[in-house]
């Protein structure tokens, strides 16, 4: 298992910029170059990863190890939603639920706002929210803005991250 001490011998991490660079050169890397390479996850989000001592690591998890002295026990949430922005003030250790509360809207969303979809069976807008592993129906609405308002109020009540709750998160506003 990689330790903070070993990591600090291999790399330098700048918490203000989020940039992690190699301290020394080898036949495969050069001192001063950025650690790792960018990849796109199955969900379409971009991250950086790197191979160290025959083990693949996500750079944001290494930043946590570098700063705290241990790997994060849970998930790392990029507050800005940018998986390549590894500034220390942009990453936080959260539960899976906490991480999902800062998710971006799905690409196939029909309303322009997360948790609000057109329900053809009733010819109304359906507002739902996930909480403690369950989908909660908030109601069916003829007016899209009313459905969005109900959903946004539920996000605040449940404690979603402000990035998710922001009214300008809805594409039509």
| 92 and 127, same domain (yes or no) | no
Q: Which of 69, 98, 127 is the last residue of a domain?
A: 98
Helix (H/G/I), strand (E/B), else coil: 100: helix
DSSP for 24-41?
A: S--SS--TTSBSSEEEE-
Give residue 89's pLDDT. 96
Contacts 24+ apart (CB under 8 A), 76-82: 77/102, 77/161, 79/161, 79/163, 80/163, 81/163, 82/46
Domain that holds residue 162: 103-169
* 133 vs 137, more confident: 137
Give residue 107's pLDDT. 59
Nearest 5°: the CA angle 49, 114, 98 is 50
User: Looking at the 3D structure of the chain, how many domains does it have?
Assistant: 2
163, two tokens: 């990035």
Q: How confident is the model at residue 167 (pLDDT cuts 50, 70, 90)?
A: very low
Give residue 161's pLDDT. 67
pTM of the model: 0.65
């Amino acid at each position: 298992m990689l330790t903070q001490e070993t990591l600090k011998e291999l790399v330098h991490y700048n918490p203000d910029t989020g940039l992690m660079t190699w301290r020394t050169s080898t036949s495969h890397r050069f001192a001063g170059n950025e650690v790792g390479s960018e990849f796109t996850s199955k969900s379409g989000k971009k991250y950086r990863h790197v191979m160290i001592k025959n083990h693949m690591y996500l750079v944001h998890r290494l930043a946590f190890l570098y700063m705290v002295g241990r790997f994060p026990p849970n998930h790392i949430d990029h507050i800005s939603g940018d998986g390549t922005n590894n500034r220390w003030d942009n990453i936080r250790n959260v539960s899976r639920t906490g991480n999902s509360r800062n998710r971006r809207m799905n690409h196939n969303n029909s309303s322009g706002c997360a948790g609000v979809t057109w329900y053809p069976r009733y010819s109304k807008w359906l507002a739902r929210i996930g909480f403690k592993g369950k989908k909660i129906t908030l109601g069916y609405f003829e007016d899209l803005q009313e459905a969005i308002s109900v959903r946004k109020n539920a996000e605040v009540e449940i404690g979603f991250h402000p990035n998710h709750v922001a009214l300008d998160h809805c594409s039509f506003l």
